[in-house]
Amino acid sequence: MAAQVISGTEVARAIENDLRQQVSELRSKSPHFQPRLAIVQVGGREDSNVYIRMKLKAAENIGIVAEHIRLPRDCTQTELLTKLTYLNESPQVHGIIVQMPLDSEHQIDSHLITDAVFSHKDVDGLNTENEGRVSIGDFSGFVPCTPAGCVELIKRTGVTIAGKNAVVLGRSRIVGTPVAELLKWENATVTVCHSKTKNLSEITKTADILVVAIGRAEMVRGSWIKPGAIVIDCGINPIPDLTKKSKQRLVGDVAYEEAAKVASYITPVPGGVGPLTVAMLMRNTVLAARRQLERQLRPTWGLQTLRLAPLTPPLSDIVIARSQKPKHIAKLAEEIGLYPNEVSQYGTTKAKISLSVLDRLSAQRGGKYIVVAGITPTPLGEGKSTTLLGLVQALCAHRGRNAFACMRQPSQGPTFGVKGGAAGGGYSQVIPMEDFNLHLTGDIHAVTAANNLLAAQMDARIFHELTQKDGPLYDRLVPKIKGVRKFSPIQLRRLKKLGINKTDPDSLTDEERTKFARLNIDTNKIMWNRVVDLNDRYLRKVTIGQSPTEKGFTRETAFDISVASEIMAILALGKNVEDIKERLANMVVALDKSGNPVTADDLGVTGALMVLLRDALEPTLMQTLEGTPVLVHTGPFANIAHGCSSILADKIAMKLAREDGYVATEAGFGSDIGMEKFFDIKCRASGDVPHCAVIVSTVRALKMHGGGPAVSAGQPLHDVYVQEDLELLGKGLCNLGKHISNGRKFGVPVVVAVNRHGNDTEAELNLVKQYAEQNGAFKAVICNHWAKGGAGALDLADAVIEACDTKSVFDYLYPLNLSIQEKILLIAREMYGAGQVEYTDEVLEKIKTFTEKGYDKLPICMAKTSNSLTGDPTVKGAPTGFTLRINDIFVSVGAGFVVPMCGEISKMPGLPTRPAIYDIDLNTETMEIDGLF
């Protein structure tokens, strides 16, 4: 009886039909998702081209996007590895194969190349890791395609493999060895033969299953085969055949005509193993894509948290921080769903995250959005950042929810001044806290450089206009370069703004040249200061231009602290790179002598600013003490600007946290400043809707609002703050009540976190909790996260989860179409409790000018003391009916808000008599920082 032919073509067709259905199911889960295969070919061998065309056709039939990447024959090993690295790191590519043999003029280690493909993308199954898994019976990776096809063909016969004698002729790492391993794990008794095997034909006669992959045309004769055996022929060899047009035909390693008379089943050549190899490649590609999609869609990250071992009493913040060894940042990034090409590592504990994540996850619904603010604080702070981190540790490490903390980067001003850093405290910190509180990834320095470049360009332009006539000035602005004179793109934008519709520099009239070349900046109406990221009181007023080279053109100016720069606010409020660029271009730095605004774009500096800020556009990934993720980005001054971390960081976090996750972000100071600006400025700019507000309160601060003596940094606390005093505490609860009321006015549930300090009594804590719940809080909970980490904030986490599940009706405090004065009055009355607002004549004149220029449609960013609900830092509690005085007003056009100044708000803090500088040192033996906190 003749052997039955095992048609690889038919089996492959059935597999492809099944895979097509699988791809359809994947796309039903995520409409924008599509499996992608990269086929890398070096050189252009025609036999390789034939195989690649087969793979491309199969991929198209199934619904896989297959890209044929052709590299030239002079491609080097390094160039090939570089290409593979790119494909490995791309989240858009699910499977990678390198077509063998490599047709290169240079020597390339093929084994090195196959191992260079990431094991989870190695759909050929040739990476040593995948081969090793197969050898021990672990099929969680990818099985090599041809061996997998061989086993599939055997199974299609219906013959049971278990218990059979199998002989594999050939021991190559691509076919022979792995097919032997697969048959072994199917419970066959396997013998592997090779070129050195003696009595080869006698051994093959014992085989119930014979797999031949020896690479010699028709080597195995019919007499070598046991009657009734299954014969799988993996060979494909050209032999002469004058009857064919090509003068040759393809045969296998088995003499087919002879074997077919002896065997029970046999594979033809071609049409046998070959189509199954392609089908198995497609199956592996779909499997790789499925695994990635499942990882992307799974409800929780599967985060490996870090265990805490809290001591009582807790040690100093820096000792606690150093007691925990952080996870490698690449591990954390992988856990939360990031891909290598989206992560730029800065050492092992921090990394920049690419904004491309937002494109990749554009269809992903975001998580719940939580803002953490506080009551009116003491100068010591009430633990807002600590509470933020404790909450996220509780949500993520203890409740198993995807949860991010999004924080501002602290300025070095307070770090070396009085306040100290902002990494949290106790067992609720960002680590490494030294990195977090110092240079981090250099974003503030980038803002400093960009801000000062703009200042330098402005002063240089003023100088050149004062010292040059119209003709030479124009010629220097538009010089001939290699005989060609043309406008740069930013100069063309200025021409368009001026209404000059010309592109040839030589075609402008004299009047148009003068109009283009002269900005005519009024040096008495310059609004742009230089910045430095330090507290330096002597820079509050300086005179510049005193060198003889400046020819007497001096002017008075000032330095601000870097985080007060409008550039920092723009980084925080930009929704994407183009939005940030447009905002930078629109920054008004001065008025000209006709009263018209002069912008950064007029000075030609927008592109240069973007270059300096390129890396600062991306948020920085760090972790808490319990190994949960933190995104750190931007640090706008909370008095002058809106005091919140970036929109981009929040958006990335919400995408990565997924629909059932949580993103908690901080707002500077109390609800009257930070939270109001978060809602009315940041949420308005981002379009994101918050689900819950957390108000952090302390017994200490409430006692101060009840009439307790002043609290000063660096000074011992008065006895009333370390002893139980329910009466004093009760008098100050009104401040908490006002902040709860403020949050509720935006239509979101307010959870009060009572941050426990060591001297607080249970009676005091419970009094605060009871008052909060009786005065509008959704819930109030007592927290001990400083001493216990996330375990000390479990009740807070549960309250936040419950609050986020309730239906909220979020709305802004005011519509933008109100006048500037109407918006200011609404904020003053509703957020501060003021009765009326008073303006100086100069402020009223500026408001008139802003209104004429259309700035009245911008939101309001109140610059007010954080130490009181009023404009007077000495007034505590929750007064009502007072008059709020506006003594100055300016506009940040690029950032997109109007800034009324209530009282004296310095944009350049000064160092105190005894700053933290005295305690900070570098241990020259260990190179560790001492005394940071």
What is the total residue count of the chain?
933
Catalytic residue check, 623: no
What is the per-residue burial (b if ≥16 Cβ within 10 Å, else e) of 682-702?
bbbbbebebbbbbbbbbbbbb
Look up tokens 């076919």; give the residue: 175
Task: For residues 198 and 565, give the distance between their C-alpha atoms in angstroms, rounded to a whole number.
Answer: 83
The single residue of 99, 292, 623, 821 carrying the catalytic annotation is 99
Task: For residues 441 and 632, give the distance between their C-alpha atoms in angstroms, rounded to a whole number.
Answer: 10
Residue 123 neighbours by CB distance under 10 Å:
27
User: Which ranges in 468-592 belong to alpha helices (H)?
Assistant: 470-477, 489-498, 510-517, 566-573, 577-585
- Counting other chains too, the contacts that 922-928 makes at CB distance below 8 Å and 24 or more residues apart are 928/322
Side chain identity at residue 250, one-letter code: L
Residues 6+ apart with CB under 8 A from 529: 455, 557, 558, 559, 560, 907
SS3 808: coil
Task: For residues 90 and 112, give the distance between their C-alpha atoms in angstroms, rounded to a whole number.
Answer: 20
The CA distances from residue 929 to 165, 411, 444, 521, 926, in Å, are 68, 17, 21, 47, 9
Q: What is the CA radius of gyration of the chain?
A: 35
Task: For residues 415 and 736, give the distance between their C-alpha atoms in angstroms, rounded to a whole number.
Answer: 28
Residues 6+ apart with CB under 8 A from 230: 154, 157, 159, 208, 209, 210, 263, 264, 265, 266
Contact 703, 728 (CB under 8 A): yes
Closest CA to 65 of 36, 40, 41, 90: 36
Task: For residues 131 and 138, give the distance between their C-alpha atoms in angstroms, rounded to a whole number.
Answer: 10
Task: For residues 635 and 408, give the distance between their C-alpha atoms in angstroms, rounded to a whole number.
Answer: 5
Burial of 31 (0-12, 13-18, 19+ CB in 10 A): exposed
Q: Alpha-carbon torsion 766, 772, 773, 775, what sign? A: positive
Closest CA to 178 of 100, 248, 270, 280: 280
The CA distances from residue 813 to 152, 818, 892, in Å, are 66, 11, 20
The single residue of 55, 164, 677, 907 carrying the catalytic annotation is 55
Distance of CA 533 to the CA centre of its chain: 25
Catalytic residue check, 29: no
Closest CA to 64 of 39, 98, 94, 34: 34
3-state secondary structure 206-261: CCCEEEECCCCCCCECHHHCCCCCEEEECCCEEEECCCCCCCEEEECCECHHHHCC
The helix or strand, by DSSP H or E, that contains position 36, with its residue range, turns out to be strand 36-42
The CA distances from residue 855 to 323, 673, 895, 897, in Å, are 51, 21, 12, 8
The single residue of 41, 83, 122, 124 carrying the catalytic annotation is 124
Catalytic residue check, 703: no
SS3 492: helix
In sequence order, what DSSP letters do the residues of 71-112 get, joined into one string? E-TT--HHHHHHHHHHHHH-TT--EEEE-SS---SS---HHH
**Which residues are marked as active site?**
55, 99, 124
